[in-house]
Amino acid sequence: MSDRFDFSVSATDGRARTGTIRTPRGDIRTPAFMPVGTAATVKAMLPESVRATGADILLGNTYHLMLRPGAERIARLGGLHRFMNWERPILTDSGGFQVMSLAGLRKLTEEGVTFSSHVDGSKHMLSPETSMEIQRLLGSDIVMAFDECPALPATVDEVAKSMRMSMRWAQRSRDAFGDRPGHALFGIMQGGVTRELREESAEALKAIGFEGYAIGGLAVGEGQEAMFGVLDYAPGFLPEDKPRYLMGVGKPDDIVGAVQRGVDMMDCVLPSRSGRTGQAWTRRGQVNIKNARHADDPRPLDEECTCPACTGYSRAYLHHVFRAGEMISGMLLTWHNLHYFQELMAGMREAIAAGRLDGFVADFHARRAGGDIAPL
């Protein structure tokens, strides 16, 4: 294993690319989907089960972990990898998004954000410097710069003002990150749905210099058409030789469209959250296992899937345990959803390498358009 962090592209197909991010804790095959382990756990899954689905990297959450159990405690216990029993790469977000969406009584200044914890009401401060220190204590392999996410809807002037402050914070994050061989700092492009602001943000980030670049401020309710509109140009503003990470995406069709537009990494709570609410994602689209049509159905959720939920259990069983409120329901459906998402990524990596992504995408959409198998 390398003691450095680097990225190489092995094949391209249109704007889509496949390659490898190398870290001291292992390689990440791109395009990559990163399951979200918010509070040092991917809900309802053991780490080795997450790995078995094909995941190379997990996402941890700075905001949640700083509040509970605390970054200093995790550091004393040997760091986040040992704490959660995941020895492969971890990316931590900076906490900026959660402060905006979850925390109470927040006050934003040039210095940072003061806020009240949603857990116990205690007062905290997050700034570029404190975010870098918390992520250093956690020991994550990929650290995100601290940025501000304006609440939507926002005017172009509000988005511009927020983006420019995020760029000043990006410089402070870079300065505070210091020299950490084997660890990477990613800058985050902002600018809403305005092309000129996205370009200004990208130029500011490139002038600072990062090991990777994220596209932030999307998947926040603007809709797929607007998101793809931004992705038609935004990845092209970023360096070719560095990974591009689209934050918070998404549904399978969002992921496929993002990869087609040159994105290398994505994360989303969707597969695990859906799994706990009886929603399964399959090659034929979404299946709601709570529906009565599944009560007597002996067939698997997806006859082509090799996950434990599909190889060992019927739709009738999955329907029963969901309706009965049994814990195994969330476990099996989460495993299935994560397996499907990773299978989708593997299929795209293979298709890009073979130069046949367009055919793969056409088949993906055609199968979903056909809908679920007919009821018995």
- Same domain assignment for residues 200 and 333: no
Helix (H, G, I), strand (E, B) or coil at 26: strand
In a domain, 103, yes or no: yes
- Same domain assignment for residues 72 and 21: yes
Which residues are designated catalytic?
A: 93, 267
- Same domain assignment for residues 165 and 119: yes
Query: For 47, phi and psi rounded to 5 degrees?
Result: -55, -40
pLDDT at 101: 81
Residues 6+ apart with CB under 8 A from 122: 67, 116
Burial 55-91 (b: 16+ CB within 10 A, else e): bbbbbbbbbbbbbeeebeebbeeeebbebbebebbbb
In a domain, 88, yes or no: yes
Count of H helices and E strands in the chain?
15, 16
pLDDT at 275: 97
pLDDT at 137: 98
Spatial distance between the Cα atoms of 42 and 330, rounded to a whole number of angstroms = 12
Spatial distance between the Cα atoms of 105 and 148, rounded to a whole number of angstroms = 16
What residues in the chain have per-residue pLDDT under 70? 1-2
Beta bridge partners of 8: 20
- Same domain assignment for residues 86 and 194: yes
Domain boundary among 268, 301, 322: 268
Q: Which two tokens stand for residue 109?
A: 């200044």
Helix (H, G, I), strand (E, B) or coil at 39: coil
- Same domain assignment for residues 145 and 202: yes
- Same domain assignment for residues 42 and 191: yes
- Same domain assignment for residues 18 and 128: yes
In this structure, are residues 240 and 195 in contact, taking their beta carbons and an 8 Å threshold?
Answer: no
pLDDT at 277: 97
Domains in the chain, number: 2
- Same domain assignment for residues 251 and 286: no
- Let me know the angle formed at the C-alpha of 29 by 49 and 260, rounded to the nearest 5 degrees: 115
Domain boundary among 246, 268, 290: 268
Domain boundary among 215, 234, 268: 268
- Same domain assignment for residues 66 and 124: yes
pTM more than 0.95: yes
In this structure, are residues 237 and 202 in contact, taking their beta carbons and an 8 Å threshold?
Answer: yes
What is the domain range of residue 70?
6-268
- Same domain assignment for residues 89 and 113: yes
In a domain, 375, yes or no: no
pLDDT at 2: 59
Could you list the beta-strand ranges (E) of the chain.
6-13, 16-23, 26-30, 32-35, 58-61, 90-93, 104-108, 113-116, 123-126, 142-144, 184-189, 212-215, 244-246, 265-268, 279-282, 285-288
- Same domain assignment for residues 82 and 181: yes
- Same domain assignment for residues 314 and 352: yes
Spatial distance between the Cα atoms of 284 and 253, rounded to a whole number of angstroms = 12
In which order are the strands placed within the sheet that holds 32-35?
32-35, 265-268, 244-246, 212-215, 184-189, 142-144, 90-93, 58-61
